[in-house]
Structure 1
């Protein structure tokens, strides 16, 4: 269970970093690029993947790695675009509702058996998600106001292409969860696979920045080292959690999503002075109940 707790903690820390980055003048795309370089270094230092057989991967593994290499940086950028075009509330909702995809995959792809206990746990998890995503009117109005004051070329996107980036957020995060579960099934070779996915993501992100003629920003590049450490911890312990509970992917999928948003809600209230409604508090209680029901006896 500690692997899940650590993964959730690192994920919340990543969210806090991204929240503070917007107000701290950090260019997130550059921080993301350095984040993957840092993750590669940590992977080499801590996991010691076998470099002599690194590229001796089956075709199916290369397919997973290729998809992760594209999706990992792309979803970061799509999420940033969604926040600009559709607002923080809609974007966060789309990300959390992606939980539906890996839960479906748990039964349709990974052949998990659906018991009555798990069915109730899933229902509670979805109810908890709905309660946690319901914001007080003042907070929702503030988020809407922030989107409304964005430049015209950004806000116009919500009317024309906003639904596309929200769909990208929903599908992207859901597919990444499923691919990480597949990577966890690789077993002992997962360190090398993790390294390759970070390398591919970093190379693609770097090429994208170079193609845009990016002007480098020292603070953003330096902050990418911190982001890389947090992101590495999040992904590493998430995969370890799937390896710890190989026959219960629903537990990992649900606990990760509702755990992150529950703790994020508490952090938002305690650190950023965001208001909590009774529904939000009920959502946290339901989330705990869902995890208890999904946890294997």
Structure 2
């Protein structure tokens, strides 16, 4: 359970950092590229065996890691844009309502339990995610920027599902750090090529504060994935339970932090959503 709590903490901080990047006028894409370099270094540092490039290239999960790298850098950019243009509320809803995708996959592919209590808990979770995040007079803003939330919803769901599949099928417990590092390394390479292409068209430079912000983002990003994988590797909890608790808790915590850090207001509907989220966590966890 400690791994799940640490994953929730790190994932929540990602939303806050994305919002702060825009507030301090830091180039978001540059910071994201730096973030993946830092996250890769942390993955290699956490690996307790000698680094063997040949073994990585021959691993069964290599192509899955490359595919995830493309998704990571694409969805991370969509997440940042959604947080900056639509706000923390909408980015929380869009990314964490995607819990339904890996939950359905877990039930279908791994024959995980799907009793009445879990179904009710999942339904409550989806309702809670919306109620906790909705804000007065934000409907028009959400409709105006509907494309980004939709892309984020499906992208986040596919990432969570792919991570679970690869972790269950191909990745050993001691291989989690190098698996994560490989994804981040390819994401950094992809991002670097995009940056080079942009600089050819329009020359520029990376500021020191961008490198610092990207490094902080990378540390938080690495541990959000690392601890989620560690939680998924725990035999006592099903992936549907982990994803539900993880995603609902992130929305709830990020909403509360939004109140304190960004002075957002909370309505009776929001409070009802928070209570419903707590109920859903209990229902799913004890199912």
> 2:249 maps to what in 1?
259
> 2:59 maps to what in 1?
57
Q: How do residues 4-43 of structure 1 correspond to structure 2 at under 5 angstroms?
A: 4-43=4-43
In 2 relative to 1, CA 243–49 (structure 1 residues): closer, same or farther, beyond 3 Å?
same
Offset of 1:180 from its aligned partner? 1.6
Offset of 1:83 from its aligned partner? 5.7
TM-score by length of 2: 0.88
Equivalent residue in structure 1 for 2:172, among 187, 190, 203: 187
> 1:169 maps to what in 2?
152
CA RMSD of aligned residues (A): 2.3
Aligned residues of 1:135 and 1:276 also touching (Cα < 8 A):
yes
- SS of 1:51's equivalent? coil
How many residues end up aligned between the 2 structures?
277
TM-score by length of 1: 0.85
Q: How do residues 17-166 of structure 1 correspond to structure 2 at under 5 angstroms?
A: 17-52=17-52, 53-58=55-60, 61-82=61-82, 87-88=86-87, 90-137=90-137, 140=138, 144=141, 163-166=146-149
Structure 1 CA distance for aligned equivalents of residues 62 and 236 of structure 2: 21
Offset of 1:50 from its aligned partner? 4.3
Greater displacement, 226-235 / 206-215 = 206-215
> 1:211 maps to what in 2?
197
- Could you tell me which runs of 5 or more consecutive residues in structure 1 were left unpaired when the two chains were aligned: 148-157
Offset of 1:70 from its aligned partner? 0.4
- Could you tell me which runs of 5 or more consecutive residues in structure 2 were left unpaired when the two chains were aligned: none
| 1:244 to 2:234 alignment | yes
Greater displacement, 91-100 / 123-132 = 91-100
> 2:281 maps to what in 1?
291
